[in-house]
Amino acid sequence: MSNIHDLVFLKEKIQELKDQGVYRKLPVLEGANDAEVILNGKQVINLSSNNYLGFANHPRLKKASIEAIEKYGAGAGAVRTIIGNMTIHEELEELLAKFKREEAAMVFQSGFNCNAGAIQAITEKGDIIISDELNHASIIDGARLSRADKAVYKHADMDSLEQVLKESRDKYRNILIITDGVFSMDGDIAKLPEIVELAEKYEAMTYVDDAHGSGVLGESGRGTVDHFGLHGRIDFTIGTLSKAIGVVGGYVAGSKTMQEWLNHRGRPILFSTALPPASVGAIIEAIRMLMETTEYTDRLWKNAKHFKQKLGALGFNTGHSETPITPVIIGDEAKTMEFSRRLFDNGVFVSGIVFPTVPKGTGRLRCMVTAGHTEEQLDRAVAVFEKVGKEMNILK
């Protein structure tokens, strides 16, 4: 029985997950990711997607996708450095650079892939990567792939960052400070102006992963760097094309030098097939829509404020988010998961987030309001929150 091919060592680990009560099946969505969906066979209001602007199922994106398929086919057929680089990829990078108000942009197959490829390409032995302790998993993995040394500073703590900078300046050739632009579990915004000042003082480079700021903050969703007016003072800005933009992919925006180098040493560019034309066509359309109007971002913020205000008025603890990410902090892990289950039974889907994704005792329902929700849907969701909150004695 204990044959290696029976994967007994994995079966034992899976049993441990079951014993800890954290084993789960993947939820299944029937149809597109929208404000209201059929999930595991039940109709629910969807408060858990990163589809901030409602673009994932937008008719204009779908039409652009179909047109791109007609012209360029279903797949790119190769990595970009061989023969997978089509005019549509070049068009996207030019548009992204313009949108982000940077010299150039380099597109990757996902946000995760982008961090995995870019961080190791721009650092080497003799350098140090200094990372906020709450940075995303793809940054942690990207840093692990680099031969540079690593240090972590306390979340958003500028004294802690300065301490590491002081200790590092004379020991290393290059210093790279990495931070999320918006922290995905709490919705707080990085203190970029202060980080930039410290970076300039200690001659360090800056790398901002703006997965949750792009399409959300700044003029028409240009991101956290635009929000603070820091163009030209951040070396590498990362964005995803999978959240607000509604499709898939990631990019680095910055200088032409960055682009030239990643073309040669960004391993996902060299060793993984280029984004499919259908995705690229839809992404281009999404960015054009953002450049045409602030209508989508305005609606996102209006909905987020409405929802947050109503939950707060009921007495829920919605943390200190500065963005549409709305955590409802329950605390206890088991209670958080029970709350999520009861919401689902009452027609609202919000995934419970517990340790180890967030610190012990800070379990939360991470609500993601989008531009695609109607006020009626949000009010219905709030009413369900109130009902479950009272049932579980979380609200008085």
Minimum CB distance to ligand PMP, residue 203 (Å):
26
CB of 142 to ligand PMP, least distance (A): 9
User: Does 184 participate in binding ligand PMP (rule CB under 6 A)?
Assistant: yes
The residues, ordered by sequence, that sit 6+ positions from 48 with a Cβ below 8 Å of its Cβ are 349, 350, 351, 366, 367, 368
Among 213, 215, 223, 250, binds ligand PMP (CB under 6 A): 250
Please state the closest distance from residue 244 (CB atom) to ligand PMP, in A. 11
Determine how β-strand 250-254 pairs with β-strand 104-108.
antiparallel
242 makes contact with ligand PMP (CB under 6 A): yes
The amino acid sitting at 55 is: F
Q: CA 188, CA 353: separation in Å to the nearest integer?
A: 16
Residue ranges in 268-297 that form contacts with ligand PMP under rule CB under 6 A: none
For Cα atoms 147, 148, 150, give the angle at the middle one, nearest 5 degrees. 120
Contact between 136 and ligand PMP per CB under 6 A: yes
Nearest approach, Cβ of residue 114 and ligand PMP (Å): 7
Decide: is 179 part of the binding site for ligand PMP (CB under 6 A).
no
Q: What string marks each residue from 201 to 240 as x (binds ligand PMP by CB under 6 A) or -?
A: --------x-xx---------------------------x
Residue 82 DSSP SS3: helix
Look up residue 55 and give its two tokens. 């673009």
Is residue 85 within 8 Å of residue 108, measured between CB atoms?
Answer: no
Residue 368's beta-bridge partner residues? Answer: 325
Tell me which of 48, 49, 110, 303 binds ligand PMP, using CB under 6 A.
110
Q: Which position among 58, 89, 227, 243 bears the catalytic label?
A: 243
Is residue 227 part of the annotated active site? The answer reads no
**Of 62-70, 109-117, 146-154, 359-367: span binding ligand PMP (CB under 6 A):** 109-117
Q: How far apart are CA 242 and CA 221, in angstroms?
A: 14
Taking the least distance from each CB to ligand PMP, the nearer of 14 and 137 is 137
Q: Classify burial at 36, counting beta carbons within 10 Å of its beta carbon; exposed 0-12, middle 13-18, buried 19 or more.
A: middle
Question: Is 231 an active-site residue?
Answer: no
Which entry of 49, 146, 184, 242 is annotated as an active-site residue? 184
| Smaller CB separation from ligand PMP, 51 or 377 | 51
Q: Which residues have a Cβ under 8 Å from the Cβ of 383 and sit 6 or more positions away?
A: none
Q: Which is nearer to ligand PMP, 186 or 209 (CB)?
A: 209
CB 268 within 8 A of CB 281: no
Give catalytic status of residue 58 as yes or no.
no
Rounded to whole angstroms, the Cα distance separating 249 from 109 reads 4
Nearer Cβ to ligand PMP (107/311): 107
Q: Which listed residue (54, 84, 111, 327) binds ligand PMP by CB under 6 A?
A: 111
- Per-residue contact flags (x/-) with ligand PMP for residues 54 to 93, judged by CB under 6 A: ----------------------------------------
Place of tokens 């007495």: 315
Q: State the distance between the two ends of the chain, measured CA to CA, in whole angstroms.
A: 54
In this structure, what are the phi and psi dihedrals at residue 147, rounded to the nearest 5 degrees? -90, 5
Q: Point out the residues that are catalytic.
A: 184, 212, 243
Chain residues in the site for ligand PMP (CB under 6 A): 110-112, 115, 136, 138, 180, 184, 209, 211-212, 240, 242, 250
